[in-house]
Amino acid sequence: MENPKLRQQLDAFPHEVSGEQYVCFRDPFNTRNSFVPRAVFDNIVYYFDGNHSITDIQKIYTQRFGESDIQDMIKQAIAELDKNLLLDNTRSRDFIKKLKDDFRNSTIRKDAHAGTAYEADKDKLKVQLDGFFTSAEGPGMPSELNQANGLKGVIAPHIDLGCGGPCFAWAYKEIAESSDAELFIILGIAHTGTNNLFVLTDKTFETPFGNVETDKDFLDSLHKKSKTDYFEDEFVHRDEHSIGFQAVFLKYLYGQEKNFNIVPILCSSLGEADKNETSDRQTYQFKEFVSSLKEAIKESKKKICIIASVDLAHVGSRFGDTELQDDAYLDTLRSDDTDMLKYVENLDAEGFYNSVQKDHNSRKVCGYPAINTMLNIIDASEGKLLKYSQYADETNSTVSFASMSFY
C-alpha cells in the first residue's frame, strides 16, 4: 500500500449527493461501489497510479495547499477503496482469479442483473415487461397471430430496463409478430476491455423465466472457421448485460412454448470505430470473424434472426462533456442520431461509419461495433426505425437508444 494503485478497467463517473460532488468508482466484476469526494479524488486518489508513494502524494498536496498533515486522509481513501477491492493488490487479484475460475468451471452464465435492473420474481417480471408494451411509449401487446413474414433482424437497446423498457418492447413486438426464427444471434457490446474484437461463450444463460440455451454446434462450427480464439476473453460475459437483457425478453416472449437457442457474441471497439487507430491485427480479426460468421449462418439449417443489442449516444458530464443539456441540445442530438440511423435503414455500412466518424464520434456511439457487424452479415433488403428515445439522468447526462427492424 506504500504506492497505492487503482485497478484498471474501473468505471468512474461524477455523482452528486445533497449538493456535494463525488466520483463514483464501480467495478464491472463486483456490485460494490465507492464514492470519493471530488476534492479527494482530484488531489489524492488521482495519484493512485503505482508510481507515487504516500509520501509523494503528501508532498504534492503540501506544495499545492500548504497543509502537510494529510496522511490520515490518504490512508482513509486507501482503506475505502481497498475494502471494495478497487486497488490493484493481492486481495483484489485473488478475488478476480476466483471469479474467473468459478466462471470457467460453470456451464451456467448466472443472471447478474435480476433484482437490480429488473424484477427477480418471474411473475413480477412478467407484469413489469407487460407494462413496457402497454405504456404510453410502448407499441401495445403483440398480436397472438404470427405472420412469420421474413424478419431478418432487429436493433434493440441495452440500457437498463427501467430507463428504456418501452423501447425494447418495439423490437420484441416485431419479433413476436414477424419472426419464425429458431436461432437468435445476439451481438452485444463488451463494456470492459478485451484482447480480441469478438468474445464468444457457450454457457447457458439464466433468466427468471428459465434458462436460455446456446447453440453449441453453431458456436463450434464458427470457432473452427477462425484462427483466433474468440473464447479467450469469455469471462467478460459474466456480468455483461447487453446479451443478458435480450435473453430475458426472448424467454418472456416464448417461455416453454417454443424451442429456440442463442449465439451470444460480444463486440469490442478497440479502436475499430476509428480506422486511423485500427491495427492490422484488428482489421484482420474483423474480416476473419465476419467471414466465419457469414459462412456459419449459410451452413446452418436453422431459421435465424440477428439482434444487435446497442445504445447510441452517451453525452453529458458523466461522459466528460461540458455542454448544457437543454432542449435545443437534445433536439440536435436527436437529429444527429436519426440522420445516422438512416444509413442503417439503408444497410449502408460505409455511410454509417462516415456518419459516426464525421465528428470523431463525439457523441460516443457505443453501439458502433455491433451495428457495423450486423450491417456486414445480415441478409436483408431494408431497415426501419421503430422507436427512438433518450434517457437523461441527474448528472446532466443523456443516453440515446432505438429499436429497428430489418426485412
For 319-364, give the secondary structure using H, E and C. HCCCCCCCHHHHHHHHHHHHHHHHHHHCCCHHHHHHHHHCCCCCCC
Distance in angstroms (rounded) separating the CA atoms of residues 47 and 41: 9
Per-residue pLDDT, averaged over 135-148, amounts to: 89
Taking each helix axis as running N to C, give the angle between helix 241-254 and helix 161-178, from 0 to 180 degrees, rounded to the nearest 10: 50
Question: Where is average pLDDT lowest: 154-158, 192-196, 202-206, 231-235?
Answer: 192-196
19 C-beta neighbours (distance < 10 Å), count: 5
Confidence of residue 256 (pLDDT cuts 50, 70, 90): confident
C-alpha cell at 349: 455500412
Distance in angstroms (rounded) separating the CA atoms of residues 156 and 165: 10
**Who's near 298: CB < 8 A, 6+ residues apart?**
none
Task: Note whether 309 and 193 are same-domain residues.
Answer: yes
Among the listed residues 92, 68, 111, 132, the one whose alpha carbon sits nearest the alpha carbon of residue 4: 92
- Helix ranges (H only) for 135-205 are 161-178
Give the structural domain span for 341: 108-406
Residue 12 exposed, middle or buried by CB count within 10 Å (0-12, 13-18, 19+): middle
Query: Given phi > 0 = left and psi -120 to 50 = alpha, else beta, which region is 396?
Result: left
- Domains contained in the chain, number: 2
Among the listed residues 311, 340, 320, the one whose alpha carbon sits nearest the alpha carbon of residue 399: 311
CA torsion angle 278 281 287 293 (round to 10): -120
Q: In this structure, what CATH number is given to the domain that contains residue 215?
A: 3.40.830.10
Among the listed residues 226, 391, 376, 401, the one whose alpha carbon sits nearest the alpha carbon of residue 310: 401
- Helix ranges (H only) for 179-326 are 216-224, 241-254, 280-299
Task: Note whether 301 and 160 are same-domain residues.
Answer: yes
| Any domain includes 6 | no
| Any domain includes 358 | yes
Higher-pLDDT residue of 217, 257: 217
Q: At residue 374, does pLDDT exceed 60?
A: yes
Per-residue pLDDT, averaged over 41-60, amounts to: 95
C-alpha cell at 130: 407487460
Question: What DSSP state is assigned to residue 203?
Answer: P
What pLDDT sits at residue 31?
65
| Any domain includes 4 | no
Per-residue pLDDT, averaged over 269-290, amounts to: 72
Task: Read off the amino acid at residue 164.
Answer: G
Answer yes or no: are the C-beta atoms of 356 and 340 closer than 8 Å: yes
Q: At residue 168, does pLDDT exceed 50?
A: yes
Q: Cell 478475488 belongs to which residue? A: 95
Domain final residue pick, 55, 83, 100? 100
Confidence of residue 278 (pLDDT cuts 50, 70, 90): low
What pLDDT sits at residue 276?
47
Domain final residue pick, 100, 132, 149? 100
Per-residue pLDDT, averaged over 225-239, amounts to: 95
Confidence of residue 270 (pLDDT cuts 50, 70, 90): low
| Any domain includes 62 | yes
Domain final residue pick, 76, 100, 124? 100
Task: Note whether 78 and 178 are same-domain residues.
Answer: no
Query: Given phi > 0 = left and psi -120 to 50 = alpha, else beta, which region is 267?
Result: beta
Task: Note whether 215 and 235 are same-domain residues.
Answer: yes
Task: Note whether 251 and 226 are same-domain residues.
Answer: yes
Task: Note whether 83 and 117 are same-domain residues.
Answer: no
Distance in angstroms (rounded) separating the CA atoms of residues 340 and 360: 14
Distance in angstroms (rounded) separating the CA atoms of residues 170 and 137: 9
Answer yes or no: are the C-beta atoms of 16 and 394 closer than 8 Å: yes
Distance in angstroms (rounded) separating the CA atoms of residues 360 and 358: 6
Q: At residue 291, does pLDDT exceed 80?
A: yes
Answer yes or no: are the C-beta atoms of 152 and 121 closer than 8 Å: no
Question: Where is average pLDDT lowest: 80-84, 260-264, 276-280?
Answer: 276-280
Task: Note whether 129 and 49 are same-domain residues.
Answer: no
Among the listed residues 150, 156, 161, the one whose alpha carbon sits nearest the alpha carbon of residue 173: 156
What pLDDT sits at residue 28?
79
Distance in angstroms (rounded) separating the CA atoms of residues 251 and 240: 18
Distance in angstroms (rounded) separating the CA atoms of residues 177 and 186: 19
Task: Note whether 384 and 319 are same-domain residues.
Answer: yes
pTM for the model: 0.90
Among the listed residues 195, 137, 193, the one whose alpha carbon sits nearest the alpha carbon of residue 162: 137
Answer yes or no: are the C-beta atoms of 6 and 388 closer than 8 Å: no
pLDDT mean across residues, the chain: 93
Task: Note whether 145 and 232 are same-domain residues.
Answer: yes
Answer yes or no: are the C-beta atoms of 200 and 214 closer than 8 Å: no
Task: Note whether 131 and 261 are same-domain residues.
Answer: yes
Per-residue pLDDT, averaged over 210-217, amounts to: 98
Across 81-85, 120-124, 194-198, the highest mean pLDDT is recorded for 120-124
Higher-pLDDT residue of 46, 11: 46
Tens digits of residue pLDDT in 298-356: 999 899 999 999 999 999 988 889 898 999 999 999 999 999 999 999 999 999 999 99
Pairing of strands 397-406, 314-316: antiparallel
Task: Note whether 78 and 202 are same-domain residues.
Answer: no
Task: Note whether 329 and 390 are same-domain residues.
Answer: yes
Percent of the chain with pLDDT over 90: 80
The radius of gyration of the chain from alpha carbons, rounded to an integer in Å, stands at 22
Confidence of residue 272 (pLDDT cuts 50, 70, 90): very low
Task: Read off the amino acid at residue 108.
Answer: I
